[in-house]
Amino acid sequence: MKICVDTMIFIDILKDEYRSVQEKFYRALEDRENLVIPTVVFAELMPQFKADTDLIQQFLDQHHVRVEPLDLRSTIIAGERWLRYLKKKTKSVCPSCGSSLENRRHVLSDFYIGGFALAHCDAVLTRDRGIYRRYFPELKYI
């Protein structure tokens, strides 16, 4: 099975947090699943490695994760779902002063990862299921 791995999984591994999620990753590795990431995940990992791209690639190689390009098909899916998100996004009002408040925003990279997973993978391994479940319900989750 080809599994797209979300950025947060790697951050969990690096920080040694959320053991249950890490175990799912390592189980997929033991089962010799085909683990991949779109290039946007590589970019999101750069702060964790102080922009040392060789070190990022070494980390991914050690974990048997392949980087794949974000193609037009993935980007179109991401853009369609991003537009749906923007249309549904609402503002809250502060109960004290009546000022308009921005709700938590998801970033476009979440949608790129979801679009890539939907276009090219059998499943996604993620801890942040809210955005994916709502805007990519067709995905299988690990």
Per-residue pLDDT of the chain (142 residues; tens, 9 = 90+): 999 999 999 999 999 999 999 999 999 999 999 999 999 999 999 999 999 999 999 999 999 999 999 999 999 999 999 999 988 876 666 666 766 655 555 689 999 999 999 999 999 999 976 889 999 999 999 8
Instruction: State which fold the 2-135 domain adopts.
Output: Rossmann fold (3.40.50)
Residues 101 and 88 sit within 8 Å (Cβ to Cβ): no
Which pLDDT does position 106 carry in this prediction?
A: 63
**Nearest residue to 113 via CA among 78, 66, 72:** 78
pTM: 0.86
17, 31, 50, 53, 108 from 82: Cα distances, Å: 29, 33, 29, 28, 7
